[in-house]
Structure 1
């Protein structure tokens, strides 16, 4: 089997010649370097490309400003301005101000007319096909897409996101539904352009911040419909969900993705492989349970080999 055949078969829970050894991208290794070429030939690399979705849509004017170590984005909409600020230091970059703070901001956001930016979607599809062609049979490309809960999780700070669920659950659900509709539009457009493998992010916003009741209400019904759309078109639906995961596996089984990652071991997660297969069933490929949060490269070499 080629790496691409092996990965596709594994993600569809079909027979493979061996378990894929599958780095997620090249990390700090240059793909064109000798080590990068060796990595591509000797392992089963899969890479992620963009999905092209913009929550505000094509008709909103966006202004970008730089002030010292701050990067400011302003969305000028028919419902007023929304503003986000990111700060960059020598070590990292992080968002320090978010577009929405209160349920009223969420209500204002929902009043903004949305039009899918099909040019962005087209560019995302082109990127997917380009990366797939570059890798050939030596690896696999997946388009990274959000799910519906990503909309409020990205509009609000982590604190305000949690408070929104406590103080205004109806508004949270309205925002998730709006996000889901936009994602479904974008995925249909990507499918029309031949994208046939997707990595879905977002469920962890519920599992790590809001709890199982929120997961059941804000993730399961929407992601189940999203996965059904993708799989119904013959494409691969690969679900990403950080953090402790065992209590959520029965719900993920309802969503029915082809594959699930990163299923972290302690200290970052609580994954128990033997129990997980019983909870997930035989139709979900388990990806990971090794070193998603880069613990190994901080340990002495002797510990790694032990």
Structure 2
């Protein structure tokens, strides 16, 4: 099997010719370097494509961006008034230090802005980014279109603290914000599918599992994401779900969403995933992806130890519906890249 076919069989909970070994992206490895090319040729790489379109706000705002030294200020002008976002950069990272919405009143104001959806041309360009990445990979690997689910709307417009406070103080408003977000997201995804996108990586669940708990997860993730996944499946598209953090108590809920695959399933001490127990809870209906920590295992331990752990993990997970992968950090280095290759060779 070529790596794309191998991954797709696993994603559908089948048994491929061997368990796929999937780096997620190139990490810190230049994709056109000899090592980058080796990853494509010798592993079962998963890449992400992004379209640069925000379906939650579409073209509803006149956006002004001001940059000075280490700070970028984005001002969203609207008939309901201005909203302001501030991002700050250091040599190592960047972060949002001021979010556009700070109170329930701000959320109500945001929802009152007349919605202008993305144009057909914008969505088509987003789909073309995905198709171009697929063409670049050829028969190797799988490309997933990175998509924030409906809860990303409040999670990205409110600070983590205010996100939690909105759920505590005004849960009906949070539910309404997510409902509106999903109402805008579904036509966007429908159009992407019609333009040729056939595989999605859904992100956002961890905002709720890490901060709000199971009751909120049911309301803000399971309910809207069931409709999202059903739409993807109606087009024959793959629905791959991403959710960092302790995950075991959420697996029955994720099963009800109907997704095809789930990552990154962090093992202790970084998460709580027991891969064999997870497989039982998901009843052979969701492919498991991940479980080897990018930074603490793949990028640090000797190759012999990484291979030993990988083979043991495959033994526990079984040959079907499992992809041996990292934990989706996006920042693994050369040592981890070579360990991915060694794992793939050990499983041949």
- What TM-score bracket applies, with the shorter chain setting the length? over 0.9
Task: Say if 2:83 and 2:100, in contact at 8 Å, map to a contact too.
Answer: yes
Q: CA RMSD in A?
A: 1.5
Q: What is residue 23 of structure 2 aligned with on the other side? A: 23
Q: What is residue 155 of structure 1 aligned with on the other side? A: 157
Gaps spanning 5+ residues in structure 1: where? none
Task: Say if 1:51 and 1:145, in contact at 8 Å, map to a contact too.
Answer: no
Q: What is residue 280 of structure 1 aligned with on the other side? A: 282
**Deviation digits for residues 149-208 of structure 1, max 9, x if unmatched?**
000000000011001100110111111111111211210110110100000000111100
1:300: how far off?
5.1
Please show how residues 89-108 of structure 1 align to structure 2 within 5 Å.
89-108=90-109
Task: Say if 2:75 and 2:82, in contact at 8 Å, map to a contact too.
Answer: yes
Gaps spanning 5+ residues in structure 2: where? 309-348
CA distance in 1, matches of 2:292, 2:205: 20
From the superposition, tell whether residues 128 and 300 of structure 1 become closer, same or farther in structure 2 (CA, over 3 Å). Answer: closer
**Deviation digits for residues 117-160 of structure 1, max 9, x if unmatched?**
12332221010000000000011111000111000000000011
Note if 1:5 corresponds to 2:15. Answer: no
Mean CA deviation greater in 295-304 or 278-287? 295-304
Q: What is residue 199 of structure 2 aligned with on the other side? A: 197
CA distance in 2, matches of 1:134, 1:302: 29
CA distance in 1, matches of 2:147, 2:64: 24
Task: Say if 2:292 and 2:298, in contact at 8 Å, map to a contact too.
Answer: no
User: SS at 1:204's partner residue?
Assistant: helix
Q: What is residue 56 of structure 1 aligned with on the other side? A: 57
Under a length normalisation based on structure 2, what TM-score does the superposition of the two structures give? 0.85
User: SS at 2:290's partner residue?
Assistant: coil
Q: What is residue 42 of structure 2 aligned with on the other side? A: 42
Note if 1:141 corresponds to 2:143. Answer: yes
From the superposition, tell whether residues 198 and 300 of structure 1 become closer, same or farther in structure 2 (CA, over 3 Å). Answer: closer
**Structure with the larger RCO, 1 or 2 (CA within 8 Å, 6+ apart):** 2
Please show how residues 1-306 of structure 1 align to structure 2 within 5 Å.
1-54=1-54, 55-118=56-119, 119-292=121-294, 294-296=295-297, 299=300, 301=302, 304-305=305-306
Under a length normalisation based on structure 1, what TM-score does the superposition of the two structures give? 0.96
1:25: how far off?
1.0
